[in-house]
């Protein structure tokens, strides 16, 4: 086990190294000089040189690469071209918003998906099973921004139940409201993106849980449990569902990397100030340090999530030995 | 219910493919999926015919109806209305179907072929080639595709659909490869492969003649679900404004509607493209799930 964990950590480091090296290369072979955004023709040669030096663009490429790696290890991604703030502090702030929204969403869709998946696997072949499988499939393949826009149109624009976007109402926060008012305001903004996420995602957990449950029900210990004369409910919840949930732990990690793509789209629709929207905006503004940093952090999060899931899986299922 | 219960019989004379074909006709999922897919296929075929009616007005890229002022709703001349500068939305929708079909099917064909070949190769030969190929697969799997494509468009400018198609093909293969490899690992130990080896035929022949036909059913499943993935990623990319600027796609239609501020004003513009993306993805996924019910014996009815 210890050997396995060390092996995995080495693998994560290698993967991360490869990814950031590719990012470095892409930014060096790009058609436009990354500094051209900062340099204007009216600048004196001296001023141009100062800026180049500031961003380390005057060194040979090998030296630039070493500096780049060193800075990465220290979590220093430079300053944003656009706002001038350190990239790391922007990313941390946005990442927190993303994690807040998507973690809540993943947990909620997980619970709903497992609950329905368990029930319909038990009712194999019924009309209800078919209905929920098709419903789950439909939402799983629904185009994310479109569903978001539809929800905004109906619930925010027509019915005016929820705000049209953002995470908070800035006007309300100027006068330093009580904590309760702050939470209410945040919750009010959270509901619509959260519902969109859950509607889009519960389907994949539902299908996974159903399939896993169907496979578990074929195991010998289920037959034994029946032979012992246990109640159906006990077999379903204690014997089958617990084991059927194992593969879904792995799915949990995969859904983290999946949720990043989802976050890009949902955060854009709902103007949620998260990492997904940041990477889109930074790209459009040609804010390269921020793009670089955001992409590196996203990849790191995905790698760590996969690692955590593998560890959790081996812990939950003693049959797995590495 | 009878329709959810299928059996593949390996001892039967008919080939596996033939059996799947026969069983597919009884699956509600597959029938529904194929039905939806055919509608969109029809739309893709209709696209050039519709343009021919009056290219000056109906061409999805350059055609403009100068007689309309701003975005107007459905009419006899424009079945779905026009966008804010007088372009026909119906012809854009038809072209979108064409683009989605070509992109989705091409990506799926390339990546599934690649994944199956690599999976078979890694699983059969094992050792160092297996380790290297699977580590490569792991690395590619952890790279978030949509952000990657955004970053690439940011650095090198927006890309043509062909480049997007290639990038997607090379990022989608690991999923198939991993599953095919696992399957090959177990097949490799079976007696029929052992006896094939003893009989002295070449490794290539064993892979092509004896292993490949046994993993094909799984490859078929990935062939259909990859189409869904490719369509959704391209749509997402176009929606964010990083799509192929020389063409029209459903994601781009929705993007224009969003950017020009018509999302709440013009439902005839906002609803169709998103619905089409979702329905076409849905249809391929339905076929995939239908196939899974057939090829995965563990999902059979108790």
- Whether B13 maps to a domain, the answer reads no
Q: Is B150 on the interface with A (CB under 8 A)?
A: yes
For CA atoms B178, B181, B185, B186, give the dihedral sign: positive
The end-to-end CA distance of chain A, in Å, is: 6
- Whether A211 maps to a domain, the answer reads yes
Coil/strand/helix, residue B247:
coil
- Whether A286 maps to a domain, the answer reads yes
Tell whether A37 and A163 lie within a shared domain: no
CA angle, A255 as apex, A166 and A196 as ends, to 5°? Answer: 35
Question: How many domains are there within chain B?
Answer: 1
Asked if A151 contacts A195 with a C-beta cutoff of 8 angstroms, the reply is yes
Could you tell me the pLDDT band of residue B1, with boundaries at 50, 70 and 90?
Answer: very low
- The mean pLDDT value of chain A amounts to 81
- Whether B214 maps to a domain, the answer reads yes
- Whether A84 maps to a domain, the answer reads no
Q: How far apart are alpha carbons B242 and B158 in whole angstroms? A: 5
The DSSP line for A138-196 is HHHTS-HHHHHHHHIIIIIIIS--S-SS-SS-HHHHHT---HHHHHHHHHHHHHHHHHH
- Whether B24 maps to a domain, the answer reads no
Q: Which domain holds residue B262?
A: 88-299
| CATH code of the domain in which B293 resides | 1.10.3720.10
- Whether A230 maps to a domain, the answer reads yes
Distances (CA, A) of A316 to A111, A252, A309, B238: 18, 14, 10, 41
Tell whether A153 and A301 lie within a shared domain: yes
- The mean pLDDT value of chain B amounts to 83
Residue with tokens 């990690």: A253
Q: Is A160 on the interface with B (CB under 8 A)?
A: no
Radius of gyration of the CA atoms of chain A, in A: 24
- Whether A187 maps to a domain, the answer reads yes
Quick check: B278 and A142 CB within 8 A? yes
Q: Return the DSSP state at B7.
A: -
Tell whether A284 and A208 lie within a shared domain: yes
Token code pair at residue B295: 């090829």
Element (H, E) at B299: none
Q: Is A138 on the interface with B (CB under 8 A)?
A: yes
* pLDDT at residue number B91: 85
Asked if B234 contacts B295 with a C-beta cutoff of 8 angstroms, the reply is no
- For B135, how many CA atoms within 13 A lie in the half-sphere containing its CB? 17
Averaged pLDDT, A121-144 = 86
Quick check: B289 and A207 CB within 8 A? yes
| CATH code of the domain in which A280 resides | 1.10.3720.10
* pLDDT at residue number A165: 75
Averaged pLDDT, B3-7 = 44
Quick check: B286 and A137 CB within 8 A? yes
Q: How far apart are alpha carbons B230 and B281 in whole angstroms? A: 9
Tell whether A243 and A132 lie within a shared domain: yes
Averaged pLDDT, B57-80 = 76
- Whether A263 maps to a domain, the answer reads yes
Chain A residues within an 8 Å CB radius of B270: 149, 153
**pTM to 2 decimal places:** 0.86
Q: How far apart are alpha carbons A185 and A172 in whole angstroms? A: 8
CA dihedral B104, B107, B109, B114 (to 10 degrees): -160
Mutate to test the interface with A, among B143, B226, B230, B253 (most CBs of A within 10 A): B143
Q: Which domain holds residue A121?
A: 95-316
Coil/strand/helix, residue A132:
helix
Tell whether A26 and A118 lie within a shared domain: no
Q: Is A284 on the interface with B (CB under 8 A)?
A: yes
> For A40-76, what is each residue's pLDDT tens digit?
556 667 766 776 666 666 677 788 888 888 888 887 8
- Whether B2 maps to a domain, the answer reads no
Chain A residues within an 8 Å CB radius of B263: 149, 152-153
Decide if pLDDT at B106 tops 90. Answer: yes
Averaged pLDDT, A288-305 = 85
Averaged pLDDT, A108-134 = 86
- Whether B27 maps to a domain, the answer reads no
Of B144, B155, B289, the CB nearest to A298: B144
- For A272, how many CA atoms within 13 A lie in the half-sphere containing its CB? 31
Question: How many domains are there within chain A?
Answer: 2
Largest CA distance in chain A: 88
Quick check: B301 and A125 CB within 8 A? yes
Tell whether A155 and A46 lie within a shared domain: no
- Whether B127 maps to a domain, the answer reads yes
SS (H, E, C) B73-118: CCCCCCCCCECCCCCEHHHHHHHHHHHHHHHHHHHHHHHHHHHHHH
> For A64-110, what is each residue's pLDDT tens digit?
888 888 888 887 877 887 888 888 888 988 888 888 888 888 889 88
- Whether A11 maps to a domain, the answer reads no
Q: How far apart are alpha carbons B110 and B104 in whole angstroms? A: 10
Q: How far apart are alpha carbons B142 and A258 in whole angstroms? A: 10
Tell whether A159 and A308 lie within a shared domain: yes
Tell whether A50 and A186 lie within a shared domain: no
Contacts of A314 (CB under 8 A, 6+ apart): A1, A4, A320, A321, A322
* pLDDT at residue number B5: 43
Tell whether A44 and A189 lie within a shared domain: no
> For A21-44, what is each residue's pLDDT tens digit?
888 888 777 665 555 555 555 666
Tell whether A160 and A309 lie within a shared domain: yes
Chain B residues within an 8 Å CB radius of A288: 154
- Whether B289 maps to a domain, the answer reads yes
- Whether B212 maps to a domain, the answer reads yes
Tell whether A60 and A206 lie within a shared domain: no
Could you tell me the pLDDT band of residue A321, with boundaries at 50, 70 and 90?
Answer: low
């Amino acid at each position: 086990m210890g050997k396995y964990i060390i092996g995995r950590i080495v693998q994560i480091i290698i993967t991360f190294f490869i990814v950031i090296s590719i990012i470095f290369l892409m930014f060096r072979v790009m058609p436009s000089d990354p500094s051209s955004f900062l340099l204007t023709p009216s600048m004196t040669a001296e001023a141009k040189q100062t800026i180049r030096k500031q961003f380390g663009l005057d060194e040979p490429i090998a030296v630039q690469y070493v500096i780049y790696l060193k800075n990465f290890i220290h979590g220093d991604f430079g300053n944003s071209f656009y706002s001038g703030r350190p990239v790391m502090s922007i990313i941390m702030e946005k990442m927190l918003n993303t994690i807040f929204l998507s973690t809540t969403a993943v947990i909620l869709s997980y619970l709903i998906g497992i609950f329905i998946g368990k029930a319909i696997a038990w009712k194999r072949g019924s009309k209800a099973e078919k209905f929920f499988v098709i419903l789950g499939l439909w939402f799983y393949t629904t185009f994310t921004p479109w569903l978001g826009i539809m929800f905004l149109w109906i619930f925010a624009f027509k019915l005016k139940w929820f705000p049209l976007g953002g995470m908070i109402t800035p006007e309300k926060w100027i006068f330093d409201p009580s904590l309760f008012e702050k939470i209410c305001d945040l919750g009010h903004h959270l509901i619509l993106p959260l519902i969109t996420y859950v509607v889009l995602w519960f389907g994949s957990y539902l299908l996974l849980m159903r399939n896993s449950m169907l496979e578990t029900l074929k195991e010998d210990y289920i037959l034994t449990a029946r032979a012992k004369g246990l109640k159906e409910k006990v077999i379903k919840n204690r014997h089958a569902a617990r084991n059927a949930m194992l593969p879904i732990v792995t799915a949990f990690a995969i859904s983290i990397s999946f949720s990043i793509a989802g976050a890009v789209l949902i955060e854009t629709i709902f103007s949620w100030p998260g990492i997904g929207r940041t990477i889109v905006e930074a790209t459009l503004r040609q804010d390269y340090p921020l793009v670089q940093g955001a992409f590196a952090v996203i990849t790191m999060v995905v790698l760590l999530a996969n690692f955590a899931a593998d560890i959790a899986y081996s812990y939950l299922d003693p049959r797995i030995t590495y | 219910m009878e329709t959810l219960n299928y059996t593949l019989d390996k001892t039967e004379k008919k080939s596996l493919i033939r059996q799947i074909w026969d069983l597919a006709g009884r699956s509600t999922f597959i029938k529904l999926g194929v039905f939806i897919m055919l509608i969109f296929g029809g739309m893709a075929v209709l696209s050039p015919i519709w343009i021919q009616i009056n290219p000056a007005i109906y061409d999805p890229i350059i055609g403009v109806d100068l007689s309309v002022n701003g975005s107007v709703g459905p009419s006899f001349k424009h079945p779905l209305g026009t966008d804010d500068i007088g372009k026909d939305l119906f012809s854009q929708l038809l072209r979108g179907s064409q683009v989605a079909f070509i992109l989705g099917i091409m990506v799926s064909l390339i990546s599934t072929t690649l994944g199956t070949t690599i999976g078979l190769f890694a699983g059969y030969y094992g050792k160092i080639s297996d380790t290297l190929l699977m580590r490569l697969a792991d690395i590619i799997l952890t790279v978030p595709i949509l952000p990657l494509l955004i970053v690439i468009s940011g650095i090198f400018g927006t890309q043509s659909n062909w480049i997007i198609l290639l990038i997607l093909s090379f990022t989608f293969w690991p999923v198939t490869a991993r599953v095919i490899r696992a399957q090959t690992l177990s097949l490799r130990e079976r007696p029929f492969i052992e006896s094939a080896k003893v009989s002295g035929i070449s490794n290539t022949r064993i892979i092509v003649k004896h292993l490949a036909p046994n993993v094909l059913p799984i490859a078929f499943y990935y062939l259909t679900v990859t189409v869904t993935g490719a369509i959704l990623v391209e749509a997402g990319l176009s929606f964010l404004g990083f799509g192929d600027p020389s063409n029209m796609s459903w994601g781009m239609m929705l993007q224009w509607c969003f950017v020009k501020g018509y999302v709440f004003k013009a439902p005839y513009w906002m609803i169709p493209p998103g619905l089409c993306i979702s329905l076409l993805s849905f249809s391929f996924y339905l076929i995939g799930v239908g196939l899974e019910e057939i090829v995965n014996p563990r999902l059979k009815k108790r």
